[in-house]
Amino acid sequence: MGTLLNGRYELGDTIGSGGMGRVHRATDTRLGRSVAVKILRVGGGEDDATARARFKAEATLAGSLHHPGIAQVYDVGEDESSPEREPFIVMQLIEGTPLSTLLAERGAIRPDGVAKIVAQVADALDTAHGAGIVHRDLKPSNIVVTPQGRAVLVDFGIAWSAGSEPLTQTGSIIGTAEYFSPEQAAGRPATARSDLYSLGIVAYHCVTGTSPFRRETPVATAMAQLTGDLPPMDDSVPPALRTLITSLTQKDPEDRPSSAAAVAALANSETSPATEIIAPATSAMPATAPVPQPTSVQPAAAAAPPPPPVLPPPTLPPPSRSDEGERRSSRWLVVAVVAILLLLAGVLGVQALGGGDDGSPAADATTQTSDAPTEEEPTSETPSEPTETEPESNDVTVDRDALIGLDYDDAADELDDLGLSARRVDETSSAPEGTVTGVSPSGTVGRGSTITLTVAKAAPEQTEPTAETPSAPTGPAGDATDKGPAGGGGPGGGKKP
């Protein structure tokens, strides 16, 4: 018989461990069910008090959420038999495999499976964001894939809610450098759109098999998050999914989708209920991933296989920017320089304690090639006559500010004139019904791209019980429709199940 915790939870094998503690498979002897017990490693001092407070906050925040895509918290307490009175959380035991392990073992995941992961995680995030909770550390090791094909979001160890006080030192970076947002890299507060950025980086990793901004050091990785361009995706990735990932990973939060619900609706339009993510292993995994140190980042391994070659699709933005894009890039560059100087001075206290993502290091750590495109050498040694003509650019500029406030049809016509497709996502808003409230992506895009227009709709009116007159049909928030030039744009919209 294993150790009996507080006379109720019989501890079994250790199924995860890390900088903050360990996770045991256990049995709730009172209810006769299998659970996961996460036990905090304590050592005394001020850091111990902060860790205990964070641990309690995790239990409180996660325990307030109820969604099939979020691991459930059952109980919280302290080990009464331990002199240190180690805190513990009793959580749902998820039978499945961390997404990080699947990526390490199998490489890239097929696009329809990635779309399903994005849809399910975005739906779970919508519940968390609706409760005012930001995850702040979304990464493959915090997503567990069950044998039934359900992606479950776990480990709210550094989550934050609007009603809670931060549990970290002022100016410290929270999250994992490979997946956190540019605003987190700059030391600014994370928002719901920060989680969406991280989801976009996870999706990119899934479709390509590589983490886009991993560099040799945490500081270099943070700098890449701030200023680096997203490497192009292979043409095998459907255009609509490429556009969604590109919009999620915009540096400016305002250029990302407006909500997790909108992301779920768009991703659901790229998949079907019968889609299988992947055939995962059936080993048991705790509701929390193997307890990484949540505030630390992991440098890339020194040696790694080269990334697979990718072909740059014509729909991704080139290095050139519009005037608006140049201003934003300049602003991010200033923030980046300041943030990196602070990092080098040790103010931000990034700790390289092995708490990054939990996949196989050899498979996860990939040396990044240069982001700059390689110029081709001329094939002729004889100089040719210079010409004044240049090839016509395949890029156009989407002016976000000019589209905000227009009726959807007018905005869609504007995009059509530019050779772009429009995808509509309705959301309840106080803005005039039918007007555009969000545009993603904006700035420089390739012709034929699909632009997501978020359109305001009125809240449903309460009808009298005796009234039988049907109201005008309105789709739920998340209905997506396409409108674009013939032969262009992505597939039609879908409804969030």
Q: What is the mean pLDDT of residues 243-259?
A: 95
Cα gap 292→263, rounded to integer Å: 27
Is the model more confident about 324 or about 251? 251
Best mean pLDDT range from 77-81, 345-349, 352-356, 461-465: 77-81
pLDDT greater at residue 460 or residue 350: 460
Residue 187 φ/ψ region, left for φ over 0, alpha for ψ in the -120 to 50 degree band, beta for the rest: left
220-224, 228-232, 369-373: range with lowest mean pLDDT: 369-373
pLDDT, position 282 = 36
Rounded-to-integer distance, Cα 46 and Cα 203, Å: 38
Q: Which two tokens stand for residue 496?
A: 């969030």
70 or 83: which carries more pLDDT confidence?
70
473 pLDDT exceeds 50? no
Q: Where are the domains of the chain?
A: 4-93, 97-364, 395-458+475-483
Under the phi-then-psi rule, with left for phi > 0, alpha for psi from -120 to 50, and beta for the rest, what region is 405?
left
What is residue 124's predicted lDDT score, i.e. its pLDDT? 96
Q: What confidence tier does 20 reach under pLDDT thresholds 50, 70, 90?
A: low
Residue 373 has a pLDDT of 40
Which has more confidence, 346 or 250?
250
pLDDT for position 364: 34
**Residue 378 binned pLDDT confidence (cut-offs 50, 70, 90):** very low
In whole numbers, what is the pLDDT of the chain averaged over residues? 72
Contact between 6 and 77 under an 8 Å Cβ cutoff? The reply is yes
Digit-coded pLDDT (tens) for 124-176? 999 999 988 898 889 998 899 999 999 999 877 555 554 444 433 334 556 68
Task: Pick the more confident residue, 282 or 144.
Answer: 144
Distance (Å, whole) CA 449 – CA 441 = 9
Closest-CA residue to 292 (of 120, 138, 482, 403): 138
Residue 203 has what pLDDT?
Answer: 97
- Of residues 446 and 334, which shows the higher confidence score? 446
353 vs 45, higher pLDDT: 45
* Model pTM above 0.75: no
Write down the architecture of domain 97-364 according to CATH: Orthogonal Bundle (1.10)
Q: Output the pLDDT for position 332.
A: 52
- pLDDT band of 372, cuts 50, 70, 90: very low
The reply to whether 137 belongs to the active site is yes
Q: Residue 487 in 3-state DSSP?
A: coil
Instruction: Tell me the H-state helices in 186-281.
Output: 192-208, 218-227, 239-248, 260-268
Of all residues in the chain, the percent with pLDDT exceeding 70 is: 61
> Residues 262-267: what's their mean pLDDT?
95
Looking at CATH, the fold of the domain delimited by 4-93 is given as: Phosphorylase Kinase; domain 1 (3.30.200)
Residue tagged 């939870």 (tokens): 9
273 confidence band (pLDDT: 50, 70, 90): low
Q: What is the pLDDT of residues 176-201, one digit of tens each?
A: 889 999 998 888 989 999 999 999 99
- CATH class of the domain at 395-458+475-483: alpha beta
Q: Identify which of 37, 89, 87 has the alpha carbon closest to the alpha carbon of residue 60.
A: 89
Is the model's pLDDT at 494 over the cut of 80? no
Q: Which of 137, 155, 252, 426 is catalytic?
A: 137
Percentage with pLDDT > 90 across the chain = 29
Q: Look at residue 319 and tell me whether its pLDDT is greater than 80.
A: no
Mean pLDDT of 90-110: 92
Least confident interval from 117-126, 127-136, 433-442, 475-484? 475-484
Tell me what the mean pLDDT of segment 87-106 comes to: 91
pLDDT of residue 353: 33
